[in-house]
Amino acid sequence: MHREPDGHRAKKSLGQNFLQDDNICRKIVDALDIGPADRIIEIGPGQGALTRFIADAAPGRFTAVEKDDSLADLLEAGFPSVEVVRQDALKYPWAELTEAQPCKIVGNLPYNIGSKLIWDIVSTATGMERAVFMVQHEVALRLTAAPGGKAYGGLTAWVKNFCAPRYLFKVPPTVFRPRPKVDSAVVLFIPLPPDSRPEHPEKLSRLLKLLFQQRRKQISTILRKEWSAGTEQWFADQGLDPRLRPENLSPEQLRALSVVF
């Protein structure tokens, strides 16, 4: 087990790989483009690698959500102006961050919950003005993939119905302590305008789960039990062959299909 100089033992179960490189921390925080009135939420501040640069940028209000109590103690002592929330970020009330509560969200995310957190945040925190997340490199490729390839999946199509994700840069294992086994990457998320977001997210979520659990099959085979005249007509109107694989449909097409099938 890795032990830090202050005695903190890095917990693998909480995805604790602490950033040691100030330039990378600065680049992540710069991508958030913090203005003096901005409300910032940091997920998993850990030992404060990013927290320090965010606090220096002097946002209007700064909340840090940390599950590990011993790290939360250190943060409260080191950053008295930051509101430290001791909570599982998966249970944080993201849906309460509406347009009336605009915010920017940042985090070097614990790898085991990165995809799930991003799924929830982009679809429920409607007041999110932008977000910058570090995730496993492979997840960054999935988040930003174009249709047609292996990296493109339910997560890609979901996120792109709410945001424009942009791959910013790759981060090697050498800049963390302890070192993870894989590369990481930083992704920027800019939300789509409110009227471009799905009206029926629950339908889209259901369809994506159905399709991408069996992504090697043809769409008509996967949806056979629920195939309707409306579905048939939709494919005809789009000039699309229902024998396509799920990965061949764009995020917009998947959204449209989720409403008619």
Helices (H), 8-100: 22-32, 51-56, 69-78
Among the listed residues 34, 113, 122, 140, the single contact to ligand SAM using CB under 6 A: 113
Q: Near ligand SAM by CB under 6 A, which window of 85-93, 191-199, 218-226, 228-236?
A: 85-93
CA-CA distance, 175 to 233, in Å (whole number)? 53
State in angstroms the smallest separation of the CB of 10 from ligand SAM. Answer: 9
CB of 182 to ligand SAM, least distance (A): 12
Which residue reads 């985090």 in tokens?
107
The answer to the question of residue 198 lying near ligand SAM (CB under 6 A) is no
Task: Name beta bridge partners: 176.
Answer: 19
Contact between 260 and ligand SAM by CB under 6 A: the answer reads: no
Give yes or no for residue 82 binding ligand SAM (CB under 6 A): no
Q: Which residues contact 90 (CB under 8 A, 6 or more apart)?
A: 113, 116, 117, 120
CA distance 198 to 220: 23
Q: Least distance (Å) from ligand SAM to the CB of residue 49?
A: 4
Task: Note whether 110 binds ligand SAM by CB under 6 A.
Answer: yes
Upstream peptide bond of 178 is cis (omega within 30 degrees of 0): yes
User: What are the residues binding ligand SAM (CB under 6 A)?
Assistant: 14-19, 43-47, 49-50, 65-68, 71, 88-90, 108, 110, 113
